C-alpha cells in the first residue's frame, strides 16, 4: 500500500474534461487503483481551499459537488497543516513555488507521501528532496 497527497493541478486535471492533462490524470488514477482502496490519499487544507477556488473560477459552482463526491468516494484523509510550519518551509526552500505547492511538498516529506501533481517546478523540487 502506498500513500499519496494531492496537488490542485492534479485534481483540476482529473475533474475538468477540458484540461490538457485530463486523460493523463485518468490514466494515473486507473493505475493507482484508486477505487479499490489499495492506497491512501491525502489532501491538506491549503490545497482543498485552492482547489475550491480554481474550480469556482474555471467551472463555476457545479463542479464543487463533483469534487466533494470524489473526495468522499475515495475516503480521502484530511491533513490540517500548521501555517507557521508551511511558511517557514516555504521561506527555507528558496525555490519559485507557491505557498500551496510548498505545503504539499512539506506534508509529503513529513508524512512520507508521494505527490500527485502536474506542476513541473514543484516536481523538480520534490525530486531534489528525495
Query: Domains in the chain, please, with CATH?
Result: 3-129 (3.40.50.1010)
Q: Which helix (H) or strand (E) holds 40?
A: strand 40-44
Q: Give the E-state strand segments of 1-130 in sequence order.
A: 3-6, 40-44, 77-79, 114-116
pTM (2 decimals)?
0.91
pLDDT digits (tens, 9 = 90+) for 81-117: 888 999 999 999 887 889 999 999 999 999 999 999 9
pLDDT digits (tens, 9 = 90+) for 32-87: 877 777 899 999 999 999 999 998 887 767 778 889 999 998 989 999 988 899 99
Amino acid at each position: 500500500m502506498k500513500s499519496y497527497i494531492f496537488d490542485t493541478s492534479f485534481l483540476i486535471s482529473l475533474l475538468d474534461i477540458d484540461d490538457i492533462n485530463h486523460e493523463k490524470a485518468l490514466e494515473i488514477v486507473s493505475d493507482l487503483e484508486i477505487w479499490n482502496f489499495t492506497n491512501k490519499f491525502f489532501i491538506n487544507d491549503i490545497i482543498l481551499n485552492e482547489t475550491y477556488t480554481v474550480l469556482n473560477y474555471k467551472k463555476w459552482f457545479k463542479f464543487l459537488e463533483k469534487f466533494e463526491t470524489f473526495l468522499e468516494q475515495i475516503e480521502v484523509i484530511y491533513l490540517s497543516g500548521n501555517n507557521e510550519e508551511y511558511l517557514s518551509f516555504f521561506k527555507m526552500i528558496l525555490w519559485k513555488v507557491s505557498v500551496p505547492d510548498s505545503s504539499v511538498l512539506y506534508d509529503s516529506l513529513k508524512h512520507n507521501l508521494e505527490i500527485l501533481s502536474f506542476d513541473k517546478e514543484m516536481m523538480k523540487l520534490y525530486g531534489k528532496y528525495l
